[in-house]
Amino acid sequence: MEYNAEEYDVIIVGGGHAGCEAALASSRLGKKTAMFIINMDTLANMPCNPNIGGTSKGHLVREIDALGGEMGKVADKTFIQSKMLNMSKGPAVHSLRMQSDRMKYHIVMKETLENQKNLDIYQAEIVDIIVNEKKDKILGVKTKTGAIYNTKAIVVATGTYLKGKIIIGEISYESGPDGVFPANDLSQSLMNIGVQLRRFKTGTPSRININKMDLSKMEVQKGDSEISLFSYDNVDNESMLNKKQVDCYLTYTTEKTHKLILDNLHRSPLYSGKIEGVGPRYCPSIEDKIVRFKDKERHQIFVEPLGEYTSEMYIQGMSTSMPEDIQIAMYRSIPGLENATLMRSAYAIEYDAIDSTNLNLNLEYKGIQGLFFAGQVNGSSGYEEAAAQGIMAGINASLKIDNKESFILDRSEAYIGVLIDDLVTKGTNEPYRMMTSRAEYRLNLRQDNADIRLREKGYNLGLISQEKYNKFLIKKEMIELETERLKKLNIYPTDETNDLLKELGSSEITTCHKASDLLKRSEISYKDLIKLNPEKNILRKEITEQVEIQLKYDGYIKLQLEQIEEFKKLENKKLSKDINYSEIKGLSLEARQKLDKQKPLSVGQASRISGVSPADISVLLIYLNQSQKR
C-alpha cells in the first residue's frame, strides 16, 4: 500500500550529527525540509564516546559554528567538563574538547529541530529512493509504511545504520548502534540506482556503572579551571563559564588483561575472519593494540561519564569485539573495575558506506542530480566530521535547488575543506578521522580564528543573522585597532620595565622597543605587556587572544600565507567537466581513468588524486595552455 504524502524541497535521511546539521542548514536557508529518523529517541545520539571536540575535531566544531551550525551551541549547553588540549604546543593545535551529557545533548538538539521553521521531523525508515527513468535525477523517497514524499534534493546521512551488523565474539545480528533497528532496505535501493557500496567497520567499548568501580584505584582527570566554550555566541555567557564540572578517571590495562586477550584471540571475530569490513587504524580494538604493540606493558584506559543524571561510564581504550564472557574477564582485570558488571557490552559494527570519490566536492553523487551524502556513510568517522559534512550538504542541497554555485571550502580555508577534499579527491580505505597533521596550512586554520575565516561566508549564505554579523565585525575591528596600537606603542627602558622583564626571564632592554616586538619574545605574553602599559582598558579574552597570536607568530603566519598563495595558483586553474581525458594522449593510462572518473574542478585537485603523477599534471597544463590559444 503506497500513498502520496507531503512534498518537500529537501529531505534528510537520518537524524544523527550529519542529518541534524543538514536539516537545520537547509531549513534555515528557507527550504521546506523534512528529516527522517528510524527512532526519534536516537536523534543526535552519541553511540560511542560521550564527548564533542578534541584535536582537530574541536576545530571542526568551531568552523561549523562560524558558518551558523548548531553542534557547538548544543555542546556548550550540555557539557559536563571542558578542556583545552595542547595548551603547551602552540596556537595552531589548541583544541577544545567537552565531555557531553549524552541524553541532554539529544534533548537540546531535538528541541532545536522541533522549533525550527520550515522543518518537519518524522520517525520513519526510508526504504527507497525514487529516481527518474534515466536514473540520473532523484524525485523522492518512500517510507517503510508506504508514504511517498516528493522532493528536489536528498541528503543521505545514514551513519552506521545501512545494513548495520553487530558482532560480539561468535554472535552477530542485524542492528544499528545502541540496539536501534538497522536500515536494511535502503542499500538495495541505492545499488539499484547505481550507487556503489562497500563495508566499513568500527566499534565501541563497554559501559559500566560507576557504583561498581573502585575510583580510589584510578587517577582523577579534571576539567580546566578556566572553562572554554565552543560557540562564538557564548563568549560572555556567565552561567556556562562558571558551570560545575564532572571528573573523568584514568586507569591501565594489566598483564592479566593482555594474557586473557592473547589466550582467546581465536575467539575474536577480527582474527577468525568473521569481520569483513575495514576498520580504522586510529581506533583499534584492544585486541588489535595488544597484538600489534607487544612490547607495551600497559595501555591507558580513560573512564568518562555519559552524563549528569546517569551512572553509566564509557571505558575509552577498551573497544573490543571479543565474546561477552571474555569481555567480562577483560574488564575485571583492570584496576578499579574488579567488580564491574557490563551495562552495555562492547561490540564491533559493520555497515554499508559509499566510495566517497564518487562524490563531487559539493557532496552530490556524480551522475545523480540532487542526491547528496554526508557523514559516516561517506567513510568518515566521528560526530564532528559528520556534522561538518552535514552542514555543507545541507547548504549545497539548498544552493542546488536555487541553481546557485556550490559552496566549497578549500584546504587553505578550513578543516572542513581538508576533510571533504581528502574524502572526495584522495578517497579513504578506512573510516577517516580528522587530524591536525592532515592540514597543510594549520597555522592559518586555528580554532581561535574560525570566525575570522568563515563568519562572512556564513553571513553571505544567509545562515548568520545581521545582529551576529555586526557583533563579529566589531570584534574584528577591535582586534585590528589593538594590533595597530601595539605596533606603535613605545616601551621605554625604565627600571620598572626592566624589573618586569627580568622577572619574566627575558633580557633587559636598553633602547625603546615597540610593544609588538616585545610580544614576539616567547616568554612575554599579552598580559605582561598590559602590565607595562596599564592605562589601557581591559579587552575581552577573545580579542586579546587574537592580537597576541597574530603578533607573536606574525612571521610564521606570513610564511604560511605565501604557501597558500602558491597552493591557490593550481587551485585556480579550472578544469571543465566536459574535458575528455581519454583523448589527451600524453596522460598515463591510470591518470586518464582516474581523471575521467573523478572530473576534478581544478588542476590543484587533480594533483591530489592518487595515480596522477607530476608528469600528468604537466601534460594537463600544456593541454590547458593549448586549448586557451584556440
Partner 1 sequence: MSTIAAIGTALGSSGINIIRISGDKSKDIIKNIFNNYSKLSPNTIVYGKIIDNEVFLDNVLVSYFKSPNSFTGEDICEINCHGGSYITKQILETVIKNGAEMASPGEFSKRAFLNGKMDLSEAESIIDLINAKTKIETKIATEQLNGQLFTKIVKLREKLVEILAQIEVSIDYPEYDYEEVENSNVIKLLDLEISEINKLLNSYEEGKYIKNGINVAILGRPNVGKSSLLNNLAKYERAIVTDIAGTTRDVVEETINIGDIILNISDTAGIRETEDVIEKIGVSKSIKKIDEVDLVIYVLNIENKLSIEDINMLSKIQNKGIKYIPVINKMDEYEKMFFDAFMSELNKNNITTTINISAKEDLGIDELKSKIMSMFFDDTINNTNEIIIVNERHKKLLEDSIEHLKIAKEEVVKCMPVDIISIEIKESTRKLGEIIGTDVSQDIISKIFEKFCLGK
Site residues for partner 1 per CB under 8 A: 48-49, 55-56, 85-86, 88-93, 95, 204-205, 280-284, 289, 292-293, 296, 299-300, 302, 316-317, 319, 435-438, 440, 442-443, 522, 553, 556, 559-560, 584-586, 614-615, 618-619, 622, 625-626
Pairing relationship of beta strands 342-344 and 10-13 according to DSSP bridges: unpaired
Cβ distance to partner 1 smaller for residue 435 or 509: 435
**What grid cell was written down for 249?**
578517571
Do 595 and 581 contact (CB within 8 A), yes or no? Answer: yes
Nearest in space to 333 (alpha carbons), one of 262, 411, 381: 262
Quick one: which H or E segment has residue 103? Answer: helix 102-114
Rounded distance between C-alpha atoms, residue 200 and residue 625, angstroms: 42
Write the DSSP string, 240-267: HHTPPP--EEEEE--HHHHHHHHHTGGG
Write the DSSP string, 29-48: TT--EEEEES-GGGTT--SS
Cβ distance to partner 1 smaller for residue 32 or 433: 433
Cβ distance to partner 1 smaller for residue 61 or 121: 61
* Shortest distance in whole angstroms from residue 465 CB to partner 1: 34
What is each CA distance from 365 to 136, 155, 539, in whole angstroms?
10, 10, 47
Cβ distance to partner 1 smaller for residue 438 or 468: 438
Pairing relationship of beta strands 3-7 and 79-85 according to DSSP bridges: unpaired
* Shortest distance in whole angstroms from residue 611 CB to partner 1: 13
* Shortest distance in whole angstroms from residue 64 CB to partner 1: 20
Cβ distance to partner 1 smaller for residue 28 or 94: 94
Cβ distance to partner 1 smaller for residue 188 or 625: 625
* Shortest distance in whole angstroms from residue 208 CB to partner 1: 15
Interacting residues of 467 by C-beta distance below 8 A, sequence separation 6+: none
**What grid cell was written down for 387?**
556534522
Cβ distance to partner 1 smaller for residue 534 or 614: 614
Cβ distance to partner 1 smaller for residue 183 or 434: 434
* Burial class of residue 368 in the structure, from the number of CB atoms within 10 Å of its CB (0-12 exposed, 13-18 middle, 19+ buried): buried
Angle subtended at Cα 615 by Cα 609 and Cα 621, rounded to the nearest 5 degrees? 85
* Shortest distance in whole angstroms from residue 224 CB to partner 1: 13
* Shortest distance in whole angstroms from residue 49 CB to partner 1: 6
Cβ distance to partner 1 smaller for residue 26 or 376: 376
Q: Which amino acid is at 443?
A: L
* Shortest distance in whole angstroms from residue 214 CB to partner 1: 21
Q: Which amino acid is at 147?
A: A
Q: Which residues pair with 352 in a beta bridge?
A: 199
Cβ distance to partner 1 smaller for residue 68 or 205: 205
* Shortest distance in whole angstroms from residue 543 CB to partner 1: 21
**What grid cell was written down for 238?**
556567565
* Shortest distance in whole angstroms from residue 452 CB to partner 1: 19
Length of the chain equals 630
Do 367 and 36 contact (CB within 8 A), yes or no? Answer: no
Q: Which amino acid is at 290?
A: I
Cβ distance to partner 1 smaller for residue 138 or 286: 286
* Shortest distance in whole angstroms from residue 168 CB to partner 1: 17
Cβ distance to partner 1 smaller for residue 299 or 487: 299
Write the DSSP string, 575-604: --TT--GGG-TTS-HHHHHHHHHH--SBHH
* Shortest distance in whole angstroms from residue 195 CB to partner 1: 28
Strand order in the sheet with 126-131: 3-7, 147-150, 138-143, 126-131
Nearest in space to 197 (alpha carbons), one of 210, 186, 206, 181: 186
Write the DSSP string, 1-35: --EEEEE-SEEEE--SHHHHHHHHHHHHTT--EEE
* Shortest distance in whole angstroms from residue 616 CB to partner 1: 9
Q: Which residues pair with 207 in a beta bridge?
A: 314, 344
